[in-house]
Copies of this chain bind each other. A is one copy, B any other.
Amino acid sequence: MPAGFVAGAVAAGIKASGRLDLGVLAAVDRQPLPVAGVFTTNRMRAAPVELSAANLAASEPSGSGHWGRAAAVLSTSGCANAATGVDGDHDQAGLMEGLASLLGVPPVEVLAISTGLIGTRLPVDRLRQPLRELVDHGLADTDDALLALAEQMCTTDTRAKSASVSLELPGADGGPRAVGVSGIAKGVGMIHPRMATMLSIVLTDAALEPWLLYEMLLPAVMRTWNQLTVDGDTSTNDTVLLIASGASGAAPLHAGSPEHDRLKSSVQAVARSLARQQAADGEGATTLITCQVSGARDDTEARAAARAVVASSLVKAAVHGRDPNWGRMAAALGNAEVEGRPVSLRHEQLEIAIAGTPVFAGQPLDFDRAAVARAMDAAELLIRADLAAGGDGIGEAFGCDLSERYVVENSAYST
């Protein structure tokens, strides 16, 4: 847990299972901290998303809801509070105002995230007392507290997701300061670009302005979370927040400085790790699929092509069956689009490799199918493709296999 934050979580009775379902992250000194946010593009945005974007915008009008300042984040799980109408908006606003008064901060400085069943109401009356107890006695600045928050976010996740990177940045006196970047996230269903994070929070104790945080967050989102798909459905609640406490004592970062670039890389490394953990824990998944594409006209086309492969139901089913059925991968590459325009590829020179074995190079290659099938029987599978489109665009995407268990989980229970 980077310095300057406290966190905690309790079981407040939203989840029937009795597991952690109410969490709080706050600035240790209750002062508003620079924060950048990216929210779902789904038009049925949940109440917490609407209110968080509105509060961010109000705290810093120039950020148009992308950046601003906040002192706390309220996290609920087990109920998405999406498609709940104006009553759901009131529920959410009441809870956020409740947290604001418990912390003694203005309501506009509270953001919220939420995940769970769409279309059910939050049991707000039942949450007030646990929320008070959590704020009064349950917040701590420890790693365990952050991990409790990560666990609280989970719904059908089989494990909590977290990642950390440490780096050194110069302090105001020129001496070195240890800076941390730590992220938590939840998966694992209704995950698809655009903004396929579901919920992620990344914290750092570096010091920098809100707009610089957004400049750091957006490319990380584009290269990692927007390249993550589990089932092709973008959630109503997707939210990623990047918050900087400045508590490391490191000097404020300037745009374009080498220090800024190093922090940016660290944020991206944490985001990539979280996105891969989310893919690996996709509902019913047994294999994390990474597709890396080169030779595209540009990076945008490479990312779209990689995403098309990991999003293909037929590719996902073939990986589940350990079947090196590269024809489905070729078809998926041929379907890739960027905003309605097809991605360029030269099929006479297209190359595809599965788990390191070339299987297609302008035409089918002879290869040892049994050996490749054995190599596919792993926790992680790499599919590589070169589009030969005459550019040097590269990109990657993350997904998982499609199993009978995905169908059973999603047909047998309302989630």
Contact surface of A with B, Cβ cutoff 8 Å: 41-45, 80, 82-88, 117-121, 189-190, 192, 231-236, 311-314, 317-318, 320-321, 323, 325-328, 330-336, 338-340, 342-345, 347-348, 350, 360, 362-364, 401-404, 406-408, 410-414
For A119, the chain B residues whose CB sits under 8 A away are 326-327, 330, 360, 364
Closest chain B CB from A407 CB (angstroms): 5
For A84, the chain B residues whose CB sits under 8 A away are 363-364
Q: How many copies does the complex hold?
A: 2
For A363, the chain B residues whose CB sits under 8 A away are 83-88
Query: What are the 8 A-B residue pairs with the smallest beta carbon separation, nearest first?
Result: A118-B327, A85-B363, A321-B411, A44-B334, A339-B340, A317-B410, A119-B327, A42-B334
Nearest B residue to A352, CB-CB: B83
In Å, the complex CA distance between A318 and B233 comes to 13
For A234, the chain B residues whose CB sits under 8 A away are 331, 334-335
Nearest B residue to A335, CB-CB: B234
A-B contact pairs, 12 of them (CB 8 A): A43-B344, A82-B327, A82-B330, A83-B347, A86-B363, A119-B330, A121-B364, A233-B332, A313-B406, A325-B414, A402-B407, A403-B411
Structural contact, B232 and A313, CB atoms closer than 8 A: yes
Closest chain B CB from A156 CB (angstroms): 12
Q: Interface centre among A233, A332, A347, by most B CB within 10 Å?
A: A233
Structural contact, B189 and A314, CB atoms closer than 8 A: yes
In Å, the complex CA distance between A192 and B338 comes to 17
Closest chain B CB from A166 CB (angstroms): 38
Structural contact, A190 and B348, CB atoms closer than 8 A: no
In Å, the complex CA distance between A413 and B231 comes to 21
Structural contact, B320 and A233, CB atoms closer than 8 A: no
In Å, the complex CA distance between A163 and B325 comes to 34
Closest chain B CB from A84 CB (angstroms): 6
For A350, the chain B residues whose CB sits under 8 A away are 44
Structural contact, A410 and B321, CB atoms closer than 8 A: yes
Structural contact, B85 and A331, CB atoms closer than 8 A: no
Task: Return the contact of A117 from the options B43, B192, B236, B327 (Cβ within 8 A).
Answer: B327
In Å, the complex CA distance between A245 and B314 comes to 38
Closest chain B CB from A289 CB (angstroms): 13
For A344, the chain B residues whose CB sits under 8 A away are 43
Structural contact, A232 and B44, CB atoms closer than 8 A: no
Structural contact, B83 and A411, CB atoms closer than 8 A: no
Closest chain B CB from A77 CB (angstroms): 15
In Å, the complex CA distance between A312 and B311 comes to 12
Structural contact, A331 and B410, CB atoms closer than 8 A: no
In Å, the complex CA distance between A403 and B407 comes to 6
For A327, the chain B residues whose CB sits under 8 A away are 80, 82-83, 117-119
Nearest B residue to A232, CB-CB: B313
In Å, the complex CA distance between A146 and B216 comes to 62
Nearest B residue to A231, CB-CB: B313
Structural contact, B360 and A411, CB atoms closer than 8 A: no
For A117, the chain B residues whose CB sits under 8 A away are 327
For A192, the chain B residues whose CB sits under 8 A away are 335
Nearest B residue to A305, CB-CB: B43
Nearest B residue to A343, CB-CB: B43
Structural contact, A118 and B86, CB atoms closer than 8 A: no
